[in-house]
Each structure stands twice: as C-alpha cells, then as structure tokens.
Amino acid sequence: MTTTTGTARTRYRTIDLVVIAGIGAAFGVAFLGYGALYSLIGPLTAAFKPAEGLLVGIWFLPAVIAGLIVRKPGAAIGAELIAATLEMMLGGQWGWGTVISGLLQGGGVELAFALTAYRRSTVPVAVLGGVLAASLEWVWERFAYYPEMSWGFAIIMLGFFLVSGALLCGALGWAATRALAATGALDPFPAGRELAGTDRA
Amino acid sequence: MSTAIAAAVLEARDLGWRPASRREPTLSGVTLHVPAGQRVLLAGASGAGKSTLLRALAGLLDPEAGEITGSLSTPARPGERGLLLQQSVHALVAATVARDAAFGPENAARSRTQIADAVRGALAAAAVDVDGEASPFELSGGQQQRVALAGSLALAPDALLLDEPLSMLDPVSADAVHAAILEAAAGRTLVVADHRTARWLPHVDRVILLGPGGRILADGPPGTVPLPVAELPPLPRPAPGAEVAALEAVAIRHRGGREVLHRDLDLALRAGELAALIGPSGSGKTTLLRVLLGLEAPAAGTIRRPARERTAFVPQEPEHSFVARTVREEVTASPWAQDEAAAEALLERAGLAHLAAANPFTLSGGEQRRLAIVAALAQRPRLLVLDEPTVGLDDARLADVIALLDRAREEGCAIIAATHDARLASRADRTLALPARPASDRPVSREITPVPHPRRTAARACNPLTLCAIGLLAAIGSFGVSTWQIGALGLLPVLLLAPLAVPGWRSAALRLAPVLLSAATLAWTTALLSPLAPLSASAWLLGAKEASRITLFVAPGVLALASVDVTALGDALRIRLRLPGRPLAAGVAALVRTGHLRAQWERILTARILRGLGTARSPRVLASATLALLVDTLRGAEQQALAMDARGFAEADARTVALPSPLGRADVIGALVGIALLLWPWALRLMIG
C-alpha cells in the first residue's frame, strides 16, 4: 500500500469517494427542505418567474463544496450528480431534466477547478465555478424549459443566474467550506487543513 | 481461497502517528507484539489512542492524513483483519442485510456463487437473526453490529479488531453481540478496545492498559493489570418539589404507523427528580420522548409539561444541536438563555471555561456532551429531557455528566432521560420501562435477493437501464411538440401506459402532481413573457403548448423511475455498462442511506426548533442545519471509509456484483415503448402539424 505523490491526485482514496457521494446525498436531503426559501421571494416570482434565478446558485453548492474539499478531478461533478439523482429518484418535478441540470451545473464548477489544475481552494475559483455553472444551466433552461421566452427576459434571467452563481454558489459555498473546516470535520483533507488556517494542538 | 480459520500475528515497533491537523502525535513509541490467536483487551480512558492503535493494527492509517513513524506489520490480503466500529450504522453500505455482507467478497472480485456461499456462512456465524432482504438501516444497534460482524467474517479474517463494539447497545443486545463476537473469534486473533472491561476479562488472555499518546501503562494477564475505577458522586437528596410533568394513561404509536406500541403509560415527575425511561432499542423510547416534548400527539391519554421555553432537550448526538462558532456563544444561542453571567458560571461548573473560545464541533465527545447539557441548562428549564446522555462515555466522563445533572436537580430541575445505561438508570427516582417487542422465532433466510418493494408494478420486470432509456427517449421525443394539439395528443400514450409503471392511480397522481404544477407555472410564464402580447389568447395557446411539451418531457421519466431501485441500477451500470466499480459503489452506498440521512436532518431541525431558534422555514435554521448535517456526514464518511477499507474497498477496482442484471423479453417491449414515445410526437407533427 504505497502511494507516491505523483499518483496521489488522481488515485481516489475511499474517503474521497465517500465524502463526494456523502456531500451530494446530504444536499439532496437538505434541498427537500429548501422549498421554503422560494416562499421568501414568492411575491417577486409570482409576478416575474425569472426572478427565481436569484436562488439558482444554491443548487450548485454540493459541487463547489465537494470540489473545494476533495480537489480531485470529478469531485464537483460527482457530488452534484448524486444530489440530482437523489432528487430525481424521490420524484422531483423535472425528472431526467434534474440529472441533466446536475451534470451541467457540476460540470461548470468542475471546469473552474480544472482550470487551476485542482490546486486551489480560493474564493475566485469558487466564484468562477458558480458563474460557469450558472451560464451552462441558463443555456439548458433556455433550450429545454423557456424556448418561447422573449430574448429580453431571457437576458434578464441570465443576469440573475450569474449574480446568484457568483454569490450563493461561489461566496456562500466558500464560506460554508471554511465553516466546515473550523469544525475539524475536514481534517483528513489537505484543503480542509489549509482552510482551517491554524493547526489545532 | 480456503475457508479454514487462521490467526494473524500483529506487530508494531516504535510506532508513531501524528494526524496532519495536529502538532502532537496521538501515538508515539508504541511497541506491541500480539501472537497468533491471542485475545487482547485494550483498556484506557477515552483519548488514550485505543481507536488509533486499532486502525494501525488493521493497516488502515492513511499516509495522506498524517505522518507514520516506526514499523507495522501490514495485512497480506484485503479483509485479512476485520474491524468493527463503535457506531455500527457507519459500517453499513447496502440496502439489504445480505448485500451488505456481500460487500467484501464483491470487492475481492469473487464469483456470484462464491459470494452467495460466503454471505450465507457469514450471516450464520455472526448470528444475524433477520432476513437477508431486511434493510440494515431499520435494525436495532445490536442487530446492526452483528450485520457489521458478518461483513467482516465474509472475508474470512485472521484477526478481529473491535473498537468499543458494545458501548452504544442496550444490555440485552450487548450480551447477544458479545456472545456472537466470542463465537466468531474462535481460532482468530482478537483485539478489543473497551473502557468497560468487566464483560471481557473472563474471555481474554491479556490486558493492555493505554495511557495518553498510546503509552502502554501496564500489560499482562487479566487480574495482574490494575484497571482504573471511577467513583460516581453520591446520590443527591433534593427535597421533593411540586409536580413538573406528568403522563396519564398515555398510549403511543410509531410515527406514521397505526399499531399502538404501548398503552396506559403513567409517570408523575416532581421538581428535582430524575426519571429513567428504559427499554431495548426499538421499544418506543424515542417516540415517547417526542410525545412528551409535544412534537407528536399521543394516541391516547393526557400529558402535562412546563411551557416550551422552560422545557429543554438534549439530543443523543450533541453535535445535532450545535449552532454557534464558539462554546461561549453556544450556551447563550437560545433566545431563552440570555443571561451571560449564568452562562459563564455554568461553563465553569462543567469544566469548560478554558474552552470558551473554541469551536463546539472541535471538542471531545465528553466535552460536547457536557456543553449540550450546559446550553440546555442555560434556559433555566423546569424540565430537562435527555436522549441517551451517557451512551459511549467512560466512567470518568460519565461522572462529570452525572455531577452536572445532580447539580441541576438540586436547583429544582426535573430530568427525564431515555437511557440503556444501568449506571445512570440506577440513580433514577422513577423508572418507566417499555417492554421489548416480541421477537419472532421463525427461521431466517440468508439468501441474496433483489431489494424488496412493497408494491409490484409491471415495469419492474424491466432492467433499470431499460426504464431509464424509456424516460430519456420520451424526453427527446417531446421536442417534436410544436403546437398544443400535438402536445395534447402526444400525452395520450403516456396516460395509457402509466398504469404499467405505478401501482395505482393514487400513486400516479402523487408522482405527477409536482410535474403538472410546474407545467402550469410554465404555461403562465410563457403567456406572460413570450414575445407575443402578454396574456393574449395566442400567448395562452403558446403557454398550453409549452405546458404539454414539458409534461411530455418529464412525465414518462418520472413514471418509469418509480419502478427503478438504486441498488439494481448500480448493478446494471456495473454489469451492463462496465462503469468503474469503486465510484459506483460509493454512490450507491450514499443513496441507500437516504432514509437515514432524512432522519438525521429531522433530528437536527428538531433540536433547533426546541431551542427556540426558529422554524423549519427560517433561512438561519436551514443554514445551520445544513452545516450540522454536513459535519455529521463528513464524520460518518471518515468512519464509513474505514469500515469499507477494512473490507478491501481500497483495491476493489475489479469488484464484482452479487446479483445478475438480466435483460429479457420485458426489455424488448420496454425498448419498443421507448422508441414509440420518441417517434410519436414527430409522427403527429407529420400528420397534423
């Protein structure tokens, strides 16, 4: 059982796989309780449905958190795929659309980490991931769900998506990962130890 | 591989281990030789490094997570050294008991016949007394621990390494697991870590007492090693006060169930008294606590309790209630606990004052338990409700918790604790015992079967991949809808085929309701935001087209998925599409825990609501609950990864699958249905478009 540093990045330890899947499943369950958040902006969305885009970044959280923690190829997309699969299996309203969204959202975040060769767990990477995920999700929703929406409204929706991706996925995701690191739960991961900042005695 | 039992030699020389997150090593200079077949008891206080030493002996220290020094004998093959953990639920990886036992042999890439034989033998040897098709997540802790033992035995280990395997169990279950372990250990090397030594002493050859840093304080045959005994404080004698809470002729039933579990439960609790609620796992203790806390209505009877803000609750997992960044803020987090001076005094009393600035989640198990109790006491409750407040604690930490509770009683707080810890129950003024549910004596099946589902559908005859394909093909077909007429006609075959996929109209309606609601929203959105005049007749017709198109896009998939089981889908992806075994197995293992995760989520939310921090709809509660669920998941993941690696998962790239994933006549029909759904909208378009 020897591992060299060269293979350490691409070889998945069992804990890497279990954490990626676990983050996805935990968010899949938490998402069931998040419906309440939509009622917060209810009056806004009843009049103008694209305003729901303001919350879209929340759904990318499993990808960005798993990517920040595990920092190996596939972590972001894997976690998002598990969350989407769980939602779909429990009878989510978009059926296979959920899994396609999951792949695109996870893929967007994954792309941001890939651009840094999986070496960084910083705010800009997380924000970029949120923005890329939001862009891909917008393309998909425009194609599959809102092809008849006028371009003017579609562009407004894109604006909401990008802001939400940057803030709710990027900034909030990074803050959540830091809060997790402070609990010591990320100690088995180099990224977690870095984010925790100080060594614990 | 022969099934003859062999015994392993375990050896560590000058072993050191420093986790990467710490400056001080948790093990240093440990030298230990365990000859083949020896039975060793590892004793010592919590934090002495017993768990770490067991991981080291199992060959499972992770070089990416810390620094190993010295030398260590490593296992010659995966599964050679079986490892059992304190919390058996972390070891579970499958949706059925038999599939769980099959996990190790699957990792070792055995054939289906070999796997079936290994599973039968292991379930029998571990005295698992439930059917192979039962869900391990719904079993009691004792049964789960035997399932975990079977999981180890399926790989014919030469050594069994057990980390506090009994400490979470009620006495009856602990006896059964203890007997099963001793039986299974025959002819094998056994190392068991337990701070409660009495049960093991008659059965071991050697006792090793560990001190801080894994230093061996004493080592010898039982009787020659002095074991520390902690004195419990004397029983408090608070003057009996007025009645605080009472149950009168209360009956309870399991949540969502109809059958009444217990009737005529009576209890009157006065200020200063301690009541113990005892009974084996599954007897309904948790349900009764929920009823007492007002979270559920009793099936009959009356309950009196103090006002909400004067009733405090501490869950079994202290981490489920934590919401603050520091210990000090945790104590005053509840709006009902705002007295800072009282909070400081409580921290002092609990010996936590020096940790006031630490993150609550970084505390040790015993410290967390005391913090959760202190945070509850800061509410100045008249009634304190505790779920298993001493489970897993060694005697010294137990004494600390009891001292805290005694002090609260002297100040007039009434306490009720659900517990199977005799050390706590023996101090109670009143005891409410819930009898065990009768166990059935029928013989159990130890065969590996598909995950059972209560209701059959015709679609279940299809391979899960076929059902997935039907949904995907129909979704592609939906893009052929160009008018509302095509959309409406396009939905006809879906309606006609729906009964094949769902057990009845009611469940079809339940599954489709969210889909139809979304479709209606889309119709409205389109009518409002399309390039046509908002809400004009033509805009509404465009909306109707969009609604029917999206229904056709989603509904076939949603209906077909109702008959897809995650385990069977994982098997199909492995066998038919040859997807990589390890990521797939980790994904399936996560998804089969969904029910368990949902229960954890609910406990976490409940703990917050009972502390007065908000409702299940408040963003702050949702945010902190998500963080707590993630911490719970991550800590569980560490244990789960350990349990999986002890069963050979690290090297399981070529893993096999215990059951076949058949493709048959039903799949031909299914494929035709899928193609028909793909083409139908386009055909309509040619005919009437």
Q: So what's the pLDDT on residue B326?
A: 95
Look at residues B220, B254, B277 and tell me which one is the last residue of a structural domain.
B220
Question: Per residue in B513-552, is it b (16+ CB within 10 Å) or e — as a string?
Answer: ebbbebbebbbbbbbbbbebeeeeeebbbbbbbbbbbbbb
Say yes or no to pLDDT of A5 above 60. no
**In angstroms, what separates the C-alpha of A77 from chain B's closest C-alpha?**
12
Does B638 lie at the interface with A, CB-CB under 8 angstroms? Answer: yes
Confidence check: pLDDT of B2 > 50: no
Cβ atoms B649, B341 nearer than 8 A = no
State the smallest CA–CA distance between residue A30 and chain B in angstroms. Answer: 6
- Percentage of chain B modeled with pLDDT above 90: 78
Same domain, B28 and B150: yes
Axis-axis angle for helices B464-477, B566-575 (nearest 10): 90
Given an 8 Å threshold on Cβ–Cβ distance, is A95 in contact with B554?
yes
Neighbours of B240 (CB within 10 A): 11
Q: Which residues of B touch A186 (CB under 8 A)?
A: 634
Quick check: helix, strand or coil at residue B243? strand
B48 in a structural domain: yes
Cα–Cα distance measured from residue B272 to residue B243, given in angstroms and rounded to the nearest whole number: 10
Minimum-distance CB partner of B591 among A23, A36, A85: A85
The token pair that represents B497 in the structure block: 């085929």
Closest-CA distance, B598 to chain A, in angstroms, reads 6
Residues B211 and B264 in one domain: no
pTM: 0.94
Question: Binning pLDDT at 50, 70 and 90, where does residue A9 land?
Answer: very low
Domain membership flag for residue B541: yes
Residue of A78, A86, A184 with shortest CB distance to B362 = A184
User: How many independent structural domains does chain B possess?
Assistant: 3
B495's CB contacts (< 8 A; 6+ apart) are: none
- Contact of B68 with chain A, judged by CB distance below 8 Å, is answered with no
B237 pLDDT more than 80: no
Bigger pLDDT: B468 vs A199: B468
Question: A134-138, B166-170, B212-216, B503-507: which has the minimum mean pLDDT?
Answer: B503-507
CATH of domain A12-196: 1.10.1760
What's B32-71 look like in SS3? EEECCCCEEEEECCCCCCHHHHHHHHCCCCCCCCEEEEEE
- Please report which confidence band the pLDDT of residue B4 belongs to, taking 50, 70 and 90 as the band edges: low
- Model confidence pLDDT, tens digit, residues B240-251: 789 999 999 999
Question: Does residue B267 sit in the same domain as residue B315?
Answer: yes
Tell me what ipTM this predicted complex has: 0.94
CA B88 to chain CA centroid, Å, is 9
Closest partner CB to B361 (pick from A81, A146, A185): A185
* Spatial separation of the C-alpha atoms in residues B368 and B372, rounded to whole Å: 6
Here the CATH number for the domain that contains residue B336 is 3.40.50.300
**A62 contacts in B (CB within 8 Å)?**
none
- pLDDT for the residue numbered A7: 43
B583 chain-A contacts, CB cut-off 8 A: 12, 17, 74, 78
Interface check for B522 against chain A (CB to CB < 8 A): the answer is yes
Q: Helices A172-182 and A61-70, interaxial angle, to 10°?
A: 50
Contact A97 B630 (CB under 8 A): no
Domain membership of residue B41 (yes or no) is yes
Of residues A25, A149, A187, nearest to B594 (C-beta)? A25
Is B585 among the domain residues? no
Looking at residues B215-228, what average pLDDT do you find? 91
Give DSSP secondary structure letters for B342-374.
HHHHHHHHTT-GGGTTS-GGGS-HHHHHHHHHH
In a domain, B15, yes or no: yes
CB contact under 8 A, B525 and A184: no
Q: Is B637 on the interface with A (CB under 8 A)?
A: yes
Q: Which domain holds residue B55?
A: 10-220
Mean pLDDT of A108-116: 97
Nearest to B641 among A18, A50, A89 (CB): A18
Token readout for B566 is: 């995650």
Rounded Cα distance, B516 and B505, in Å: 15
Q: Can you give the C-alpha Rg of chain A in angstroms?
A: 17
- Are B583 and A148 a contacting pair at CB < 8 A? no
- What's the pLDDT tens digit per position in A141-190? 999 999 998 999 999 999 999 999 999 999 999 999 999 999 999 988 88
pLDDT 10s digits, B299-344 = 999 999 999 999 999 999 999 999 999 999 999 999 999 899 999 9
Residues of A in contact with B65 (CB under 8 A): 187-188
The percent of residues in chain A predicted with pLDDT above 90, rounded, is 70
Average pLDDT over every residue of B117-126:
96
pLDDT at position A10 is 66
All residues of chain A having their beta carbon less than 8 Å from the beta carbon of residue B589 are 18, 21
Q: Which residues of A touch B522 (CB under 8 A)?
A: 145-146
Long-range contacts of B622-627 (CB under 8 A, 24+ apart): B622/A30, B622/A33, B622/A34, B622/A36, B622/A37, B624/B323, B625/A30, B625/A33, B625/B601, B626/A26, B626/A27, B626/A30, B626/A176, B627/A176, B627/A179, B627/A180, B627/A183
- The residue written with tokens 């993630």 in the block is B630
Which range is least confidently modeled, B240-244, B342-346, B382-386, B630-634? B240-244
Between the CA of residue B166 and those of B91, B176, B315, B384, B444, what are the distances in Å? 14, 10, 20, 27, 24
Q: Do B472 and A3 touch (CB under 8 A)?
A: no
Cβ–Cβ below 8 Å for B518 and A94: yes
How is residue B187 written in tokens? 């002819």
Distance CA A89, CA B9 (A): 47
Q: Half-sphere exposure of B11 toward its Cβ, with a 13 Å CA cutoff? A: 8
pLDDT band at A197 (very low <50, low <70, confident <90, very high): low
Gap from B235 CA to chain A (nearest CA, Å): 36
Contacts A181 to B, Cβ<8 Å: none
Give B451-460 pLDDT, tens digit per residue: 998 778 899 9
- B103 domain-assigned: yes
What does the DSSP 8-state code read for residue B307?
-
Whether B635 has its CB under 8 Å from any CB of chain A: the answer is yes
On the question of pLDDT at A1 being above 90, the answer is: no
- Report pLDDT for B260: 87
Domain-located, residue B622:
no
Averaged pLDDT score across all residues of chain B: 92
Q: Is B24 on the interface with A (CB under 8 A)?
A: yes
Task: Confirm whether B626 is domain-assigned.
Answer: no
Beta strand pairing status for B383-387 and B311-314? parallel
Q: Which residue of B has its CA nearest to A86?
A: B591
- State mean pLDDT over A84-92: 89
CB < 8 Å to A188, chain B: 62, 64-65, 638
Distance from CA of A124 to the nearest CA of B (A): 22
d(CA B134, CA A10): 37
pLDDT in tens, B340-368: 999 999 999 999 999 999 999 999 999 99
CB contact under 8 A, B641 and A15: yes
Mark whether B216 and B249 lie in a shared domain. no
Q: Which residues of chain B from 432 to 491 reach within 8 Å of chain A, CB to CB? A: 471-472, 475
Of A33, A90, A93, the CB nearest to B515: A93
How distant is the Cα of A63 from the closest Cα of chain B, in angstroms?
13
Kindly list the domain boundaries of chain A, sorted by start residue: 12-196
Q: Which two tokens stand for residue A68?
A: 């920040």
Summarised one tens digit per residue, pLDDT across range B562-571 is 899 999 999 9
Whether A148 sits inside 8 A of B561 (CB atoms) is no
Decide the pairing of beta strands B311-314 and B66-72.
unpaired
* CA-to-CA dists, residue B455 to B459, B501, B502, B507, angstroms: 11, 11, 9, 11
**Is B249 in the same domain as B324?**
yes
Residue B454 pLDDT: 78
Q: Does residue B541 sit at the A interface (CB-CB below 8 Å)?
A: no
| Highest-confidence segment of B383-387, B499-503, B519-523 | B383-387
Which residues in chain A are closer than 8 Å to B564, comparing Cβ atoms?
89
Confidence check: pLDDT of B500 > 80: yes
Task: Give the separation between CA B263 and CA B279, rounded to whole angstroms.
Answer: 15
Instruction: Tell me whether B616 touches chain A (CB under 8 Å).
Output: yes
Are B55 and B182 part of one and the same domain? yes
Whether residue B216 sits in one domain with residue B100? yes
Say which DSSP state B158 is in.
Answer: S
Q: For residue B509, what pLDDT band results from cuts at 50, 70 and 90?
A: confident
Instruction: Choose the final residue of a domain: B370, B400, B433.
Output: B433
Which residue in chain A has the smallest CA separation from B547? A145
Q: Is the pLDDT of residue A8 over 90?
A: no
pLDDT for B593 beyond 60: yes
Question: Which residue among B511, B619, B635 places its CB closest to the CB of A37?
Answer: B619
The number of C-beta contacts closer than 8 angstroms across A and B is 222
pLDDT for the residue numbered B256: 72
Are residues A129 and A115 in contact, defined by beta-carbon separation less than 8 angstroms? no
Q: Testing the interface with A: which of B62, B361, B529 to mutate, by most A Cβ within 10 A?
A: B529
Pairing verdict, β B243-253 and B27-34: unpaired
Judging contacts by C-beta atoms under 8 Å, the chain B residues touching residue A180 are 627, 630-631, 634
Q: How far is A115 from chain B (nearest CA, A)?
A: 23
Q: Give how far A164 is from chain B: nearest CA, Å.
A: 16
